[in-house]
Structures are given as structure tokens and as C-alpha cells.
């Protein structure tokens, strides 16, 4: 869950909330809201123990069409937008120390972001083991950066640096509150990650809800304390003026050692991109297993045993989104789809209880999914009111899935089938990839021997 959001979203939350007090309340409410959704997903995960998360639940409850729409929008928007946002955050923290007192130029940020995406795509395509080792190292950097921020913030508060908290609600605004929630909730993205791999969990009936409760509580506390530390070191105006809030924090409190902060955050966000590339490629396998994606996207390299086509596809789309160079616009695209689909999935939980009576060893009180669904509707409406154009773009991208679904079901003419097969064969030869089937083990060994 802890990724780039806590290093980029504070400015977006403050811009929407207007005041320090409302900002901290929104961070807390985002944690509570994510916790409610996670508890509902825990019941869905024990009721329908299938990998794929919301995609698997929506497909089972609402049918193939809506399952495909979520799968489609995850591939063309949710995953690449997440990669783009985090890689842009990495680039901001690399560039910010060189422009401490002026606006950062856009081109270096985009180029560094693209370089990050290309490098990590290559690493994940080359070796899963190496990508995993990178993830362990960079996760340590992420936790170190947050602990350092919280520790220094506590010291400032003990010194009496509470100017930002004296009139906590003085400049609260309401017309952009939806954008504030969007920015905050993006930082909690990942609360549903265990549901994506629930088939691989040991004793999911017990461990899934337990892991969710522990992690949501810890992350919420870390995020609220981190934001209190930011406000102890900076005024709201200083935070709003910064594109890399942790860098400004380090410059204010760490003196000659301020270089540690951008380095730690850059390592953290670099590791976040790596981790998402490592994990999110699973959705291609789930979709291909259900016959809803071209088999080519689920193929693996015979030498490195990595999902090379899926990684290249995600990298290409992520680079396209990265050229927008507007992190908060991308977050608005992301959240419209993410919270709409989450609301639909949890509404399906109530349907399964009412109509299907599927047994589950773990149940939440019925009021929790009801509150979550109402909150999803309210957040999406508030976001649409605050940023109607971003919401419209997200909606239109989602709608592109409908013609693709129906075209997929139409019998293709012979010439098209032939051309697609020739293209697939050509790409397989260049990328050295095969379908992940039992007989492919023999193919892999054969090619290695050759």
C-alpha cells in the first residue's frame, strides 16, 4: 500500500481541502474508507476465493460483459496510469534538488520518468528473481524515509512548532473536496491487493481479514503522522508551492544532510514502479485464462520465464500517459474508474448474500457495505463536480471497452484470422515467447538445450 502517494498527494489533498485541519481529517477518513472497502473485499475473497480481485468478482456477479469492461479499463488505464504517476513522482524527486527555488522544467521530468519505466520493464523482463531483490532493497528505503519524516516532525512539535495548527479550519473550502479525496485515496491504493492473489494465500478465511485489518490500521497511522510532520516543518503555503514535498521538508530540517530525503524518496518510488510491474502482470494471465485477452499477452519468454509481452504492453501505455506530465489529472482518471468498480463489487456482495446465500467463514455487518457503496457514489459525484472534464475522459476511456467486447464475439473473416496469426507468430519469434501451458515446460527445456 505504501507507495509514491504519500510523497505526492499531500499537496493535492491540501489544495482541495483548503485548511490543515480538514486535510488531516481527509487523510484519516480515506484510511477509514479504504478499511471499510477492504473488509468487504475480505468477505468477497472468502466467499469467492478466485484470483483477480474486483475483476473476478464483477465477472462472477454481473456477467462476462462487465467483467471484461473492468479488465479492459484496468489494462488501458488503471495499471498504466499508476505506473505513470509513480514514475513521474520519481522524476520530480530526482529533478527538484536542482531547482529548489524555481519551477521545474517539464521535459527532464518526462524523460526521466520514461527512462525509469523502460529500465524497470527491462529488469522485470530479464529476471523475476533480480526484480524481487530490487523490491526488497527499495522497500527498506521507503520505510526509512517515512520513519525519518515522522521522527523529525515529532521533534519539531516538541519544540513548539505548531503555527500551522493554530487555526486548523480557517480556510476550509468545499467545492474541491472531491479532488482532495481523490488525491488522498490514491495513496491508499493497494488495499485490495491480497484479493488479486487470494488463491495463493494460506488459510484465506483467517489470514485475509487479519492482514487487511493490521495493514490498514498501520498505514493510516503512518500517513496521518507523516502529514502532521509536514505541517510541523512547513506552512500550508510552502507545501502548496512544492512539487516534491519531502524535498522541501528535508531542506527545512536537515541542513547539509537534506540530500538524504530526495534520495530515499526516489529509491522508494523507483521500487514502487518495480513492485507494480512485478505484481500487476497477473491480471493478463487471469484475463487470458478466461479467454478475454489475446493469448499473446499472457505468453512467457522461454529463456527468462517472464511475461515479456505483458510488460512491454504496460510500459508502452504508461509512457503515453507520462507525457501528460500532470500527476493530479492522471489521479482523477484513475480514481473515477477505481471507485466506481469498487462500489459495484461491494454492491455485488449484498446481492450474493440476498440471492445466492453463498457460505462464508467471515462476514461483516451489513451496514459496512452499505456505507461503503454510498461513500463511493458520493466521492465519484464530488470528483465529477470538481473536475468534470477529467471525469468525462475517464468515462470515455471506459466506454471504449464496449465495442471491443462485441467485436471480440463476432466471428472474424478468414483473412483477419490469418493476419493476426502471422503477426502473433512473428512477435513470438522476435520475443521468444510461448503460451504458459503444461507442454510448454518441454518446449522451454528444448529451446534451452538448442
Q: Which pLDDT tens digit goes with each residue over 320-335?
A: 888 876 777 777 777 7
Q: Are residues 147 and 269 in the same domain?
A: yes
- Owner of C-alpha cell 528444448: 446
Q: Are residues 136 and 214 in the same domain?
A: yes
Whether the pTM exceeds 0.95: the reply is no
DSSP assignment letter at 103:
P
Q: Which pLDDT tens digit goes with each residue over 202-220?
A: 777 777 778 888 888 888 9
- On whether the CB atoms of residues 14 and 176 are closer than 8 A, the answer is no
Which range is least confidently modeled, 28-42, 72-86, 218-232?
Answer: 72-86
Q: Are residues 403 and 384 in the same domain?
A: yes
Q: What is the pLDDT of residue 441?
A: 41
Q: What is the pLDDT of residue 200?
A: 60
Q: How many domains does one find in the chain?
A: 2
Percentage of the chain beyond pLDDT 90 is: 8
Q: Are residues 76 and 207 in the same domain?
A: yes
| 1 to 245, 349, 353, 411: CA distances (angstroms) | 19, 23, 29, 42
Q: Are residues 274 and 208 in the same domain?
A: yes
Distance (Å, whole) CA 132 – CA 392: 38
- Owner of C-alpha cell 471525469: 391
Q: Provide the greatest CA pair distance for the chain.
A: 76
Q: What is the pLDDT of residue 437?
A: 60
Residue 386: domain span: 5-410
Angle between helices 204-233 and 5-17 (to 10 degrees): 60
Q: What is the pLDDT of residue 446?
A: 36
Q: What is the pLDDT of residue 298?
A: 76
Q: Are residues 286 and 199 in the same domain?
A: yes
Q: What is the pLDDT of residue 444?
A: 42
Distance (Å, whole) CA 322 – CA 318: 6
What single string gives the DSSP state of each residue in 405-416?
HHHHHSPPPHHH
Q: Are residues 432 and 403 in the same domain?
A: no
Q: Are residues 310 and 418 in the same domain?
A: no
User: What is the average pLDDT across 348-364?
Assistant: 78
CATH number of domain containing 155: 1.20.1740.10
Q: Are residues 279 and 316 in the same domain?
A: yes
Q: How many residues does the chain have?
A: 450
C-alpha cell at 319: 509512457
Q: What is the pLDDT of residue 439?
A: 43
Q: What is the pLDDT of residue 225?
A: 92
More confident of the two residues 104 and 267: 267
Q: Are residues 323 and 419 in the same domain?
A: no
Q: What is the pLDDT of residue 123?
A: 86
Q: Which pLDDT tens digit goes with each residue over 137-181?
A: 777 777 888 888 899 899 988 888 888 888 888 888 877 788 888
Confidence of residue 447 (pLDDT cuts 50, 70, 90): very low
Which range is least confidently modeled, 27-36, 189-198, 202-211, 400-409?
Answer: 189-198
Does pLDDT of 265 surpass 70? Answer: yes
Does pLDDT of 197 surpass 80? Answer: no
Distance (Å, whole) CA 200 – CA 197: 6
Confidence of residue 120 (pLDDT cuts 50, 70, 90): confident
- With residue 370 as reference, give the H or E element that holds it: helix 367-386
Confidence of residue 359 (pLDDT cuts 50, 70, 90): low
Q: Are residues 362 and 428 in the same domain?
A: no
Q: What is the pLDDT of residue 253?
A: 84
Q: Are residues 389 and 445 in the same domain?
A: no
Amino acid at each position: 500500500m505504501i507507495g509514491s502517494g504519500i510523497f505526492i498527494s499531500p499537496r493535492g489533498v491540501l489544495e482541495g481541502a483548503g485548511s490543515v485541519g480538514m486535510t488531516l481529517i481527509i487523510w484519516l477518513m480515506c484510511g477509514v474508507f479504504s478499511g471499510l472497502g477492504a473488509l468487504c473485499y475480505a468477505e468477497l475473497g472468502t466467499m469467492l476465493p478466485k484470483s483477480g480481485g474486483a475483476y473476478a468478482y464483477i465477472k462472477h456477479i454481473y456477467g462476462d460483459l462487465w467483467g471484461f469492461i473492468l479488465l479492459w479499463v484496468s489494462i488501458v488505464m488503471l495499471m498504466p496510469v499508476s505506473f505513470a504517476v509513480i514514475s513521474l513522482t520519481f522524476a520530480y524527486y530526482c529533478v527538484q534538488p536542482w531547482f529548489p527555488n524555481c519551477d521545474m522544467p517539464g521535459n527532464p521530468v518526462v524523460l526521466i520518468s520514461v527512462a525509469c519505466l523502460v529500465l524497470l520493464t527491462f529488469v522485470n523482463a530479464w529476471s523475476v528473481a533480480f526484480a524481487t531483490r530490487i523490491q526488497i532493497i527499495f522497500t527498506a528505503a521507503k520505510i526509512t524515509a517515512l520513519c525519518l519524516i515522522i521522527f523529525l516532525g515529532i521533534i519539531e512539535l516538541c519544540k513548539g512548532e505548531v503555527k500551522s495548527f493554530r487555526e486548523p479550519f480557517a480556510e476550509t473550502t468545499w467545492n474541491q473536496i472531491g479532488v482532495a479525496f481523490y488525491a488522498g485515496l490514491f495513496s491508499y491504493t493497494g488495499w485490495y491487493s491480497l484479493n488479486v492473489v487470494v488463491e495463493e494465500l494460506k488459510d484465506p478465511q483467517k489470514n485475509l481479514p487479519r492482514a487487511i485489518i493490521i495493514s490498514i490500521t498501520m498505514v493510516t497511522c503512518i500517513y496521518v503522522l507523516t502529514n502532521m510532520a509536514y505541517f510541523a516543518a512547513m506552512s500550508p503555503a510552502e507545501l502548496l508551492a512544492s512539487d516534491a514535498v519531502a524535498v522541501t521538508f528535508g531542506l527545512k530540517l536537515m541542513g547539509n544532510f537534506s540530500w538524504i530525503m530526495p534520495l530515499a524518496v526516489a529509491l522508494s518510488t523507483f521500487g514502487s514502479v518495480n513492485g507494480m510491474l512485478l505484481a500487476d502482470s497477473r491480471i493478463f494471465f487471469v484475463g487470458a485464462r478466461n479467454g478475454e485477452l489475446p493469448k499473446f499477452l499472457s505468453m512467457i519468454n522461454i529463456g527468462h520465464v517472464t511475461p515479456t509481452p505483458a510488460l512491454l504492453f504496460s510500459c508502452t501505455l504508461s509512457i503515453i500517459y507520462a507525457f501528460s506530465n500532470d500527476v493530479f489529472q492522471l489521479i482523477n482518471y484513475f480514481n473515477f474508474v477505481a471507485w466506481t468498480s469498487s462500489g459495484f463489487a461491494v454492491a455485488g456482495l449484498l446481492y450474493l448474500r440476498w440471492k445466492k446465500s453463498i457460505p462464508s467463514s467471515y462476514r461483516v455487518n451489513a451496514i459496512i457495505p452499505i456505507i461503503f457503496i454510498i461513500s463511493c457514489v458520493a466521492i465519484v459525484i464530488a470528483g465529477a463536480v470538481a473536475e468534470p472534464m477529467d471525469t468525462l475522459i475517464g468515462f470515455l476511456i471506459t466506454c471504449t471497452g464496449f465495442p471491443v467486447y462485441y467485436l471480440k464475439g463476432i466471428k472474424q473473416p478468414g483473412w483477419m484470422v490469418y493476419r493476426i496469426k502471422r503477426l502473433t507468430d512473428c512477435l513470438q519469434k522476435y520475443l521468444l515467447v510461448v503460451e504458459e501451458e503444461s507442454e510448454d515446460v518441454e518446449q522451454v527445456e528444448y529451446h534451452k538445450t538448442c
